[in-house]
Amino acid sequence: MDLQLTHQHEADRAEFRDFVDREIVPHADRFDLEERIPRDTIDHVAARGYFGVSIPREYGGRGSDMITYGLLHEEIGRGCSSLRSIITVQGMVAHAIGRWGVPAQHDAWLPPMAAGRRLVAFALSEPEAGSDPQAIACAATRRRGEYVLNGRKKWITGGQIADAFLVIARAEGKPGAWLVDRDAPGLTISPIRGLLGVRASMLSELTFSDCRVPGERLVGRLGFGLSHVAFSSLDHGRYCVAWGAVGIGQAALRASLDYAGTRRQHGVYLKDHQLIRRMLSDGLTNLAAARLLCYQAACRRDAGDPRAVIDTFMAKYFASTMARRAADDCVQIHGASGCSGDYPAQRYLRDAKIMEIIEGTTQLQQLTIAQGPYEDVYEKVH
């Protein structure tokens, strides 16, 4: 595994960083307060091709490697986790279509998704099915050349602005995945507001009442909806969330260092109090470790190494916990100021907490990493 970034990686990261510093960081607190990302910001992201970084060039994307894609998520996540979430779900669905869709679906969906002209959200969770996706109850009934959907989906990131949804449901008891247009008759979209964190990610609940979907909108074979389509999307999303959490950790550490270096109490700067320095040292060490886990996952993904799946679990588990701790310490170091809207520390903490819940909760990562045939678990020690 080569941990040296190439000149191209460095150049891409500098480009992402510049965009985030100029166009995202100054506005992220307002996005959070207003609980929305303005359309012109989405359009700027689209114009820069950031919705298509992982989509192959032949479909209008950048066709970048997984390190570049990770760097994008770290940088956007540093500026605004809500925007990172919107980019992530677009990537999850594009990945599912690219991996499991037929050529006609590639041609129809990937170019507009790469250009950001068509935003597509990922709809798996339901009121009664979260960590246990096998419990999904949303039903698709085959009727002449189409499917009729009935049921509900909840917590759908970007649902307020998505043009379409990749919906996981069951037909004849078999899980499937269908691309459903926003304006499909029988689909009602209700915004979810007042969330703890990623407040600008424009979540929605979806209700399907005899919602008719053409048969050719099925992605992958019937029966593959969970085990293949949803699970590979979630693996992709988990990878993005891991890097996004590194971005939150980076932002929180920088804010902590800035504040501790300028605020004086008891005659010295906060950074010169040993207990504060311990928080900074722990934070910096954990941030570096989380980033290394993300690089490992990236390198193995690029190499097509199957260990990348479990590497991604580890990276997401560690990075999300790191981000929450770093943001918690950031609020602590800021004292009362950290609890106020004058500083972004409280937003980092609220957003970081969400990272421990999405794309598999912390408990699910803890159950999964040491799971499997025991000889395989031993392999992870090397």
Distances (CA, A) of 182 to 73, 75, 145: 26, 30, 20
**In a 3-state reduction of DSSP, which class is residue 209?**
strand
Helix (H) or strand (E) holding 213: strand 204-214
Q: Rounded distance, CA 281 to CA 109, Å?
A: 46
Helix and strand totals (H; E) in the chain = 12, 9
Give me the least distance between CB of 276 and ligand FAD, in Å please: 31
**How far apart are the C-alpha atoms of 60 and 81, rounded to whole Å?**
25
Site of tokens 């069951």: 170
Tokens of 81: 């986790």
Cβ-based nearer residue to ligand FAD, 138 or 255: 138
Closest CA to 124 of 151, 147, 101: 151
Shortest Cβ distance from residue 235 to ligand FAD (Å)? 14
Nearest CA among 21, 85, 28, 20 for reference residue 341: 28
Which is nearer to ligand FAD, 42 or 123 (by Cβ)? 123
Residues with Cβ within 8 Å of 18's Cβ and at least 6 positions away in sequence, in order, are none
Residue with smaller CB distance to ligand FAD, 89 or 319: 89
Residues carrying an active site annotation = 359
Quick one: the chain helix, strand, coil %, rounded to 5? Answer: 60, 15, 25
Rounded Cα distance between 261 and 269, Å, is 6
Element (H or E) spanning 139, and its range? strand 139-143
Backbone φ and ψ for 315, nearest 5 degrees, come out as: -65, -45
Structure tokens of 67? 């390190």
In the complex, least distance from residue 83 CB atom to ligand FAD, rounded to whole angstroms: 13
**Residue type at 80 in one-letter notation:** C
What are the structure tokens assigned to 57, written together?
């060039």
Question: CB of 38: closest distance to ligand FAD in angstroms?
Answer: 19
Residue 246 CB burial class (10 angstroms; 0-12, 13-18, ≥19): buried
Smallest gap from Cβ 227 to ligand FAD, in A, equals 16
- Shortest distance (Å) from residue 177 CB to ligand FAD: 12
Euclidean distance between CA atoms 9 and 67, whole angstroms? 8
Residues that bind ligand FAD (CB under 6 A): 89, 121-125, 130-131, 155-157, 195, 198, 203, 354, 357-358, 361, 363-364, 367
Q: Using the minimum distance from each CB to ligand FAD, give the nearer residue, 156 or 248.
A: 156
> Of all residues in this chain, which one has the CB nearest to ligand FAD in the complex?
130
